[in-house]
Amino acid sequence: MEQQVLGRTGRLVSAVGLGTWQLGADWGEVSEGDAHAVLGASLEAGVTFFDTADVYGDGRSEQLIGAFLKNHPEAGITVATKMGRRMDQVPENYVLENFREWTDRSRRNLGVDRLDLVQLHCPPTAVYSTDAVYDALDELVSDGVIAAYGVSVETTSEALEAIARPNVASVQIILNAFRLKPLEEVLPAASAAGVGIIARVPLASGLLSGKYTKETVFAENDHRSFNRDGAAFDVGETFSGVPYEVGLEAAARFTELARDLVGDTLTPAQAAIAWAWQRPGVSSVIPGARNVEQARANAAAGSAATLGPLFMSGVREIYEESIKEHVHDKW
Ligand SMILES: NC(=O)c1ccc[n+]([C@@H]2O[C@H](COP(=O)([O-])OP(=O)(O)OC[C@H]3O[C@@H](n4cnc5c(N)ncnc54)[C@H](OP(=O)(O)O)[C@@H]3O)[C@@H](O)[C@H]2O)c1
């Protein structure tokens, strides 16, 4: 498993981490046993970076990770959590008093005195340009309750705003074959500033595995059923904001590209994950996994050989021809 520095945290983390939204909620049911098995299989396969949030299952994901850390105290795992979506997302709520309350709860859930990395969880755009927000986060670092902070963003301009701040350790952003805009300015700016990039939604919510069809039915409590039009949260988080049927066709082309260029060495899902962590400037890519098989397969993509320029030009062609018009100007 490739190791990379997580920006200004200075920590080395696995190039493929684990997204744990699935262990909380919004993806149908994942039992406690399956959740622990996913964490265990990931660690065994070399994953040392878990991404969670206080809001995933309203603390369930954090608590499951907390129990796991207790049983694996020497494993060297870095946990990034997020805060700010258990209250109304209005700029007035992003203040020190709330930050203290939110991080205290996450520390209890994770069973740690100090959080490795806490990210503002897609706050309103105005928050990114508010000095007092960064002052408050700096205070949490001085108090020792968090080791570092970062942001999780929806748009590239939010990312650039955060990267310009001196103490932002990392930026989490959607980066996958259906989201190429971060390659233009965000990744170079992050590299130049030493800010880590956490690439989320690398499979476009599973689409890039090539396994879904027009007939696929997602569970009622899966956001891929209830958030296709953005009814619950930013529509860009579901299939990266690409209309499902457009995404299916583009994913079929991506599958063909992967089969042509990497043959049997990587599945399309693994090629999508390897492509993401191999973009210069990315620290870790965090695919979500709902079972042990997915967790193992995804981790294995962390030691994939470099995908060459032909792969990149194939990805770009699919993006330009089918995807760009749906996403490029929005995020
Ligand atoms: N605002 C934010 O900060 C934010 C928003 C979204 C996500 N995130 C973070 O990013 C992580 C990753 O994003 P995501 O989970 O939304 O999307 P993703 O990683 O693009 O897709 C995850 C889905 O892909 C499918 N999958 C995973 N591994 C597979 C494999 N090896 N083969 C075939 N299919 C596979 C599974 O779908 P099935 O369930 O159909 O099997 C899984 O639920 C989240 O877990 C979370 O930690 C953060």
List pLDDT tens digits, range 225-273.
Answer: 999 999 999 999 999 999 999 999 999 999 999 999 998 899 999 999 9
Whole-angstrom Cα Rg for the chain? 18
Across the range 124-144, mean pLDDT stands at 98
Best mutation site among 62, 117, 203 for ligand 1, i.e. most ligand atoms within 8 A of its Cβ? 203
In the sheet with 282-285, reading across from the earlier edge strand, the strands are 18-19, 49-51, 78-83, 117-121, 149-152, 168-174, 196-200, 282-285
Domain count for the chain: 1
Question: In angstroms, what is the span from residue 16 Cα to ligand 1's centroid?
Answer: 13
Parent domain of 167: 3-327
Global confidence as pTM: 0.97
The answer, yes or no, to whether residue 26 has pLDDT greater than 90, is no
Name every protein residue with a CB atom under 6 angstroms from any ligand 1 atom: 19-22, 27, 51, 82, 121-122, 152, 172, 200-206, 209, 211, 237, 269, 286-290, 294, 297-298
The closest residue, in CA terms, to atom 26 on ligand 1 is 206
Give the Cα separation of 17 and 322 in Å (integer): 29
Give the Cα separation of 184 and 191 in Å (integer): 12
For residue 157, give the CATH number of its domain: 3.20.20.100
* 197 φ, ψ (degrees, to nearest 5): -115, 125
Question: In angstroms, what is the span from residue 201 Cα to ligand 1's centroid?
Answer: 5
